[in-house]
Structure 1
Amino acid sequence: MHKIWKRFTLKEDPSVYQDKDSHLMQVLTVKDFLALGVGTIVSTSIFTLPGVVAARYAGPAVAISEILAAVVAGFVALAYAEMASAMPFAGSAYSWISVIFGEGFGWIAGWSLLAEYFIAVAFVASGLSANFRGLIQPLFSLPPQLSNAFGVKGGMFDLVAALVIFMIAYLLSRGVSEAARIQNILVVLKVIAIFIFILVGITALHPENYLPFIPAAKANPDGTVFGGWRGIYAGVSSIFLSYIGFDSIAANSAEAKDPAKTMPRGIIGSLIIAVALFVSVSLVLVGMFKYTNYANNAEPVGWALRTAGHPIVATVVQTIAIVGMFTALIGMMMAGSRLLYSFGRDGMLPQWLGKLSKNKQPLNALTVLTIIGVVLGAVSPFEFLSQLVSAGTLVAFMFVSIGIYALRPREGKDIPEPGFKVPFYPVLPFVGFLGALIVFLGLDIDAKIYIGVWFIIGLVMYFTYGAKHSALNDRK
């Protein structure tokens, strides 16, 4: 047992990561990271989840669920900002925790994030597919077998989701600078689409749809609770995935210009912008139609505009929104490929994952992420994916929040002084940890079971492969 613990807590030298990641191109600015963060956070979920969560858990109080989720995400984002500023390494939480707690704990955090990226890519592609099919339905309909995930409404394979993932993989293979330029343009378009929906939707509000704002609690057929504070709490856990995009910023910190300033501004700034947009969309959506209308509706924004008598506006908004959804895939696939690259870089997974192409891109890691994302997105139901994204991320968030206590004593010594520090230390890091834990406990039992199985698989992978092939074995 002592030998296992010693191995688990074997720490990586931060200078080693700095040297290894120096081969990546440091070209991303605050503007790029704001676009990356907003593009990833304000993704498929802003056009889909508010309606789903309102119908299933919270009613009009979905806005409260979003604000509470944003508060928790904000506390965690502060910890992320300090970590990324002090240690701008590829792999974000995996690399940070390997430095401050040890390789085994870093692997657990990274393995949890890997679940996030695999599933988030599939989740965003699935939502984009639903919106695209809703848009083209008047003109053309794909057969059910190629329109939905396996087992959903006669579906076998979501063709649109698969094609979208392949398109983004091709774009990223051409280089991070080109992807960032396209990302910046698409984010502006997407924010414009959101403002159009809000302005038009305000003209179709019905005050009675907000009453009661917090519906009375009642049991759902699947054992969850709708309404009351328990419904709001369940909504927090479900909607939380909407705010996890700031992790994608941190995962690309090795490619940042002046990361000490760039990372905190990108992480915190993008979260603030995203929260304001989310709450505004939700309040307009539930005001236009009673929340029960959004049950099992994967494209509530487009549906609400069409049903309110604005088909042209609905087409314009959905067209821009669908194009804008590519930004989330760009962010998630960039971050996920960097995480897989960092695993290969350290020998925790096959080393060919850590190889860079001629234009300094982790193409092997990107290829693996693409294949797994296509398989998951094509065969997994939309709502199932949303819960699993949150589960994997929350484990990493808890590690990062509590990790601030191990980071502070080393700042200015073997780890540089960061350009940003979590305020009200030592209170806020613990608040962030506690908030992430509470949100995790509110997830559906299925999500907890599946992330538990993923966690067990990760431990088996670590002891049978990672620990034996780790680059740390050469430096013990």
Structure 2
Amino acid sequence: MEYMSLWKTMTRQEDPSVYQDKDGHLKRTLTTKDFIGLGVGTIVSTAIFTLPGEVAALHAGPSVSLSFLLAAVVAGLVAFAYSEMAAAMPFAGSAYSWINVVFGEFFGWVAGWALLAEYIIAVAFVGSGFSANFRPLLATWGLKLPASLSNPFGTDGGVIDLCSALVIILVALLVSRGVSGATKVENIMVTLKVLAVLTFIFVGATALHASYYDPFIPAYKETANGAFGGWQGIYAGVSSIFLSYIGFDSIAANSAEAKNPGKTMPRGILGSLAIAVVLFVAVSLVLVGMVPYTKLNTAEPVGMALRTAGHPVVAAVVQTIAVIGMFTALLGMTLAGSRLTYSFGRDGMLPKWLGKLDKRNNPNNALLTITVLTVVIGAFFPFAFLSQLISAGTLIAFMFVSLGIYALRRREGKDIPVPEFKMPWYPVMPALAFVASLIVFWGLANDAKIYAGIWFVLGVIIYFAYGRSHSYLAKRDK
């Protein structure tokens, strides 16, 4: 009987109308254009200027574009599930709130806790990347920070990564003024970033060498970095690349602030992913045609390729805009992380003050918490070895959402409205999305799986020590 009681507690489900009421104070101001800007800004971030070269050199060779395409197929399958969920239940917190409704409190918490790892570490990771690229620009102007202010605590004489801390705080201040203002800045910066990517594609296309594509799929071999060449190398590339595409879930976290979410959410999620796929594949094809793939494992392969082709000025412009473009990824992830943390407080899974809104109906208590955590991680601690935890956490949430479509369909037209968008080829596509996410998860490094397991255990401890007894559902059932 005790086990039955525990299972009943873990599977108690939130009434979707409650979320509708609780999130009703958030302003619905975001349009399809805003969501596409958020999505493209988050997905097409630092990775597009670095990952194609790294994966080509270490795993796939000229066929790196196939790795990006296969990763896009997996992300696309899940994006259809996200689109139906967001259209049917436009609540803050995305996967956390949805799974809470369709599977129950514990499973919603696990999915949300997994996503929280993505947002916190991704913001800290991009903040560190911004710092690493911005400091050389400062140096060209004669400004050089000492090592103590350039590196995380204990790394190469570092005390604090000052640029990382300042840019994260600056983004938080912008977000604190409201989502509408943040998205206006985001849209301008995304336009600049896409123009920079297109400039590289068109300029680079004038300097292609057909011989660099032969053989397109090199022979398979095992290296110190894992599989290289063959389909094994392409698969290894997929697991490395998947980190690039996960930004579309950050759009869904803001669905409580969407105008006409039944239309804007699917268009924003699927539209931003489609644009990102085209840009990633095009950059990959051009890059390996400009420079032999064996030379592309550098911190800035795009800039190096342009300089090699005799375009140093274009390289400098593209790299400068790339640094500015990192700001867009920080905006998207900070918005999503603050909305997810707000939803935890809203439901009593974490202290309730996190779920409070300020006088302008912004969840700034949650934003402050996220900002402090990311500043501490990004500015004081070396964390590059945790980067794959971002992919691991997101893939866990992706699997929950894919399976959640089956539970959602049984309730559409009953206590959940029939959405304007539905995942096609039901019931096959949700299963494909789940299996594809599992395959990519299986291909992650063992360290990533271990860290994901540790994060999961920590989340379970928090749930049983705090969330289970403090949640609003616990009070409702007393």
TM-score of the superposition, structure 1-length normalised? 0.96
Among candidates 105, 121, 128, match of residue 119 of structure 1: 121
In structure 2, C-alpha distance between the alignment counterparts of 1:352 and 1:454, rounded to whole Å:
23
Contact 1:36 1:183 in 2 (8 A): yes
Equivalent in the alignment of 1:239 = 241
In structure 1, C-alpha distance between the alignment counterparts of 2:214 and 2:155, rounded to whole Å:
33
Question: Do the aligned partners of residues 390 and 281 (structure 1) sit closer, same or farther apart at CA in structure 2, a change above 3 Å counting?
Answer: same
Equivalent in the alignment of 2:194 = 191
Deviation of residue 381 (structure 1)?
5.5
Higher mean C-alpha displacement, 199-208 vs 372-381: 372-381
Question: Do the aligned partners of residues 432 and 123 (structure 1) sit closer, same or farther apart at CA in structure 2, a change above 3 Å counting?
Answer: same
Contact 1:58 1:232 in 2 (8 A): yes
In structure 2, C-alpha distance between the alignment counterparts of 1:220 and 1:370, rounded to whole Å:
39
Contact 1:62 1:232 in 2 (8 A): yes
Equivalent in the alignment of 1:70 = 72
Contact 1:391 1:443 in 2 (8 A): yes
Contact 2:392 2:452 in 1 (8 A): yes
**CA offsets per residue over residues 397-452 of structure 1, 9 Å max, x none?**
00000100000010011000101001110000000000000000000011000011
Q: Does 1:208 align with 2:214?
A: no
In structure 1, C-alpha distance between the alignment counterparts of 2:223 and 2:137, rounded to whole Å:
31
Contact 1:344 1:352 in 2 (8 A): yes
Deviation of residue 316 (structure 1)?
1.3
What amino acid does structure 2 have at the position aligned with 1:348?
A: M
**CA offsets per residue over residues 256-299 of structure 1, 9 Å max, x none?**
0111111111111111011000111111122222223232x333
Higher mean C-alpha displacement, 119-128 vs 207-216: 207-216
In structure 2, C-alpha distance between the alignment counterparts of 1:15 and 1:58, rounded to whole Å:
48
Deviation of residue 65 (structure 1)?
0.7
**CA offsets per residue over residues 226-261 of structure 1, 9 Å max, x none?**
222222111111111111111111000000011111
Contact 2:120 2:337 in 1 (8 A): yes
**CA offsets per residue over residues 326-360 of structure 1, 9 Å max, x none?**
11111110000000000000010111111111111
In structure 1, C-alpha distance between the alignment counterparts of 2:313 and 2:369, rounded to whole Å:
40
Among candidates 17, 32, 35, match of residue 34 of structure 2: 32
Deviation of residue 453 (structure 1)?
0.3
What amino acid does structure 2 have at the position aligned with 1:85?
A: A
In structure 1, C-alpha distance between the alignment counterparts of 2:379 and 2:51, rounded to whole Å:
19
In structure 2, C-alpha distance between the alignment counterparts of 1:157 and 1:86, rounded to whole Å:
44
The 5 Å alignment of 1:444-459 reads 444-459=445-460
Question: Do the aligned partners of residues 379 and 279 (structure 1) sit closer, same or farther apart at CA in structure 2, a change above 3 Å counting?
Answer: farther
In structure 2, C-alpha distance between the alignment counterparts of 1:216 and 1:144, rounded to whole Å:
43
Equivalent in the alignment of 2:316 = 315
Q: Does 1:251 align with 2:253?
A: yes
Equivalent in the alignment of 1:472 = 473
In structure 2, C-alpha distance between the alignment counterparts of 1:444 and 1:150, rounded to whole Å:
26
In structure 2, C-alpha distance between the alignment counterparts of 1:134 and 1:221, rounded to whole Å:
31
Equivalent in the alignment of 1:341 = 342
Equivalent in the alignment of 2:184 = 181
Equivalent in the alignment of 2:55 = 53
Higher mean C-alpha displacement, 431-440 vs 377-386: 377-386
Among candidates 223, 228, 231, match of residue 229 of structure 1: 231
The 5 Å alignment of 1:6-405 reads 6-140=8-142, 141-149=144-152, 157-221=160-224, 224-295=226-297, 297-379=298-380, 384-405=385-406
Contact 1:41 1:245 in 2 (8 A): yes
Contact 2:112 2:397 in 1 (8 A): yes
Contact 1:126 1:382 in 2 (8 A): no
Per the alignment, in what secondary structure is the counterpart of residue 225 of structure 1?
Answer: strand
Contact 1:134 1:299 in 2 (8 A): no
Contact 2:65 2:284 in 1 (8 A): yes
Per the alignment, in what secondary structure is the counterpart of residue 90 of structure 1?
Answer: coil
% same residue: 68
In structure 1, C-alpha distance between the alignment counterparts of 2:201 and 2:156, rounded to whole Å:
31
**CA offsets per residue over residues 151-204 of structure 1, 9 Å max, x none?**
766655433222211110110011111111111111111111111111111222
Higher mean C-alpha displacement, 317-326 vs 110-119: 317-326
Deviation of residue 35 (structure 1)?
0.7
Contact 1:95 1:106 in 2 (8 A): yes
Higher mean C-alpha displacement, 371-380 vs 224-233: 371-380
Higher mean C-alpha displacement, 280-289 vs 336-345: 280-289
Per the alignment, in what secondary structure is the counterpart of residue 217 of structure 2?
Answer: coil
In structure 1, C-alpha distance between the alignment counterparts of 2:152 and 2:57, rounded to whole Å:
21
Contact 2:355 2:366 in 1 (8 A): yes
Deviation of residue 210 (structure 1)?
2.3
What amino acid does structure 2 have at the position aligned with 1:328?
A: A
In structure 2, C-alpha distance between the alignment counterparts of 1:440 and 1:148, rounded to whole Å:
31
What amino acid does structure 1 have at the position aligned with 2:277?
A: V
In structure 2, C-alpha distance between the alignment counterparts of 1:328 and 1:242, rounded to whole Å:
11
Contact 1:123 1:385 in 2 (8 A): no
RMSD: 1.7
In structure 2, C-alpha distance between the alignment counterparts of 1:338 and 1:93, rounded to whole Å:
12
**CA offsets per residue over residues 39-77 of structure 1, 9 Å max, x none?**
111111111221222222222221111100000000000
Per the alignment, in what secondary structure is the counterpart of residue 203 of structure 1?
Answer: helix
Question: Do the aligned partners of residues 310 and 143 (structure 1) sit closer, same or farther apart at CA in structure 2, a change above 3 Å counting?
Answer: farther
Per the alignment, in what secondary structure is the counterpart of residue 219 of structure 1?
Answer: strand
Q: Any stretches of 5+ residues in structure 1 without a counterpart?
A: none
Question: Do the aligned partners of residues 308 and 148 (structure 1) sit closer, same or farther apart at CA in structure 2, a change above 3 Å counting?
Answer: farther
Question: Do the aligned partners of residues 52 and 376 (structure 1) sit closer, same or farther apart at CA in structure 2, a change above 3 Å counting?
Answer: farther
